[in-house]
Structure 1
Amino acid sequence: MGREIVADLARTHHVYALGRDDTALAELGALANVTPVNSDLVVDLLDSTEAPSAVQRLAELTRVDVVVHAAAIAEKFSVESAGVGDWRYAMDLNVHVPAELTRRLLPAVRAAQGTVVFINSGAGRGSYGDNIVYAATKHALYALADGLRKAESNAGVRVTTVAPGPTDTPMLQGLYAQDDREYRPEHFIEPAEIARAIRMVVDAGPSTQVTDVVVRPRIEVGDRR
């Protein structure tokens, strides 16, 4: 999903693509208008360190038109099976990192009257007994996006949540593997469709903002026959 988002935005923007997968970053760096930034976001943004990181240097940008928060982790946990470390790591990456990165970039986003996009999930509006940790982080992400939108509207900043349903990604493959279920890519949303949804948000006219976009499969997975 991240690759598709970067490739689409790079058609009209210079994109700083953040991640820690060297192979994926090298592929993105081969695209025009893309600067790969190798970063462990939890370490670089949340851990105390005096060493300047690549992310800290991005905070020196004076104009940022679009920020897309797409990094996340999803593992199945119930209340019984999740330990404190599981909760903390999921909240750090899924909620604390986007909040802190937004905070650091906010002056540049305000200067551009830019758009902040949070990638949420269908799990952000519901939960299951065996997927509570991930769902809780996505519920929190909705609150973060909603509060930021209200706080920054007078500065001209637009804030949007894009919530995909089941999308053909390594994350979803991992969740299916945890349950030992058959994985059928053709049953799920193609990642390029999420990039198209973000493009719609970014290209919205100056007098409006698209606050919530829900992207679902043409046929819901549970309804397939």
Structure 2
Amino acid sequence: MAAHLITGAGSGIGAVLAEKLAERGDELWLLARDARRAAELRDRFPGAKTLVGDLGDPAKLSWAFGHQTLPVTLDSLLHVAGVVELGTVGELPVKAWQETLNVNLVAPAELTRLLLPSLRMAKGHVVFVNSGAGLSASAEWASYAASKHGLKALADALRQEEHANGVRVTSVYPGRTATAMQAKVHQQEGKEYDAGRWIKPESVVKAILAALDASRDAEIIDINVRPGR
């Protein structure tokens, strides 16, 4: 039975991913920002274990984990959580930049650092759910795209650093996906939201599982997922 730690399991891609892995009978470790959210996740995913840590404050993750039991071995660390705040460079305040970079980039780096011993023990897999914005930036997407470009750099460096330890690293770059985040983006853009136009979270999860299930003689490095209509 494989053990997986997932961020962002409360909704969207992360929730579907947790459901699919639970259906396999795998062991789930779910990160929650506080104790109330952790209890909600355990109710939703019976048998799952939770860790409490706020991705918005990555400097405190080490302290928080020091008071909790971490998995001894970890087959995968799945970075799915993310935030977005649209705005032009001329208007977006520092606070929005800091929050976006903390959740989307600094916290994944720190979380990976803290869990690398467990990943090395299992010759595990780190999956970063990035974005099309991690490959190309558009107007009003500067902070989000910067965080995702940084996440690509983090994944590429980590892959080279951990190859000798047997740890695999994959970046997944979904296009617009029908999630609560996408609904928020449309609201910020002043556009009507039609979930049927965009990628289903289940389709992104299939790509993630394909990377996880690849035989040990192969490492799937980058996966681009785009709307098919």
What TM-score, normalized to structure 1? 0.88
RMSD: 2.1
Q: Say if 2:60 is the partner of 1:47.
A: yes
Aligned match of 1:223? none
Q: Pick which of 101-110 and 21-30 moved more.
A: 21-30
Aligned match of 1:180? 190
Aligned match of 2:115? 105
Distance change in 2, residues 1:113/1:7 (3 Å): same
For structure 1, list consecutive stretches of 5 or more residues without a partner in the other structure. 220-225
Distance change in 2, residues 1:42/1:59 (3 Å): farther
Q: What is the deviation of 1:140? A: 0.5
Q: What is the deviation of 1:18? A: 1.3
The residue type equivalent to 1:86 in the other structure is: A
Q: Deviations over 1:41-62 (max 9, x none)?
A: 233x31388xx52x44567422
Distance change in 2, residues 1:57/1:194 (3 Å): farther
Q: Say if 2:24 is the partner of 1:14.
A: no
- Secondary structure of the 1:159 match is strand
Q: Deviations over 1:81-130 (max 9, x none)?
A: 12222211111110000000000000110110000000000001111121
Q: For the residues of structure 2 that align with 1:132 and 1:28, how far apart are their CA atoms?
A: 36
- Secondary structure of the 2:112 match is helix
The residue type equivalent to 1:15 in the other structure is: L
Q: Pick which of 58-67 and 91-100 moved more.
A: 58-67
* 1:1-225 equivalences in 2 (<5 Å): 1-10=13-22, 11-20=24-33, 22=36, 26=40, 29-43=43-57, 45-47=58-60, 53=64, 55-56=65-66, 60-219=70-229
Q: For the residues of structure 2 that align with 1:62 and 1:38, how far apart are their CA atoms?
A: 17
Q: Deviations over 1:182-224 (max 9, x none)?
A: 11110011111111111111110011110001111112xxxxx
The residue type equivalent to 2:55 in the other structure is: L
**2:155/2:169 contact within 8 Å kept:** yes
Q: For the residues of structure 2 that align with 1:7 and 1:48, how far apart are their CA atoms?
A: 25
Q: Percent identity?
A: 35
Q: For the residues of structure 1 that align with 2:117 and 2:93, how far apart are their CA atoms?
A: 37
Q: For the residues of structure 2 that align with 1:165 and 1:33, how far apart are their CA atoms?
A: 32
Distance change in 2, residues 1:208/1:70 (3 Å): same
What TM-score, normalized to structure 2? 0.86
Q: Pick which of 114-123 and 126-135 moved more.
A: 126-135
Q: What is the deviation of 1:25? A: 5.7
Q: Deviations over 1:141-165 (max 9, x none)?
A: 0000000001100100000001111
- Secondary structure of the 2:56 match is helix
- Secondary structure of the 2:73 match is coil
Q: For the residues of structure 2 that align with 1:207 and 1:83, how far apart are their CA atoms?
A: 46
For structure 2, list consecutive stretches of 5 or more residues without a partner in the other structure. 1-12
Q: For the residues of structure 1 that align with 2:150 and 2:69, how far apart are their CA atoms?
A: 24
Aligned match of 2:7? none
The residue type equivalent to 1:39 in the other structure is: G
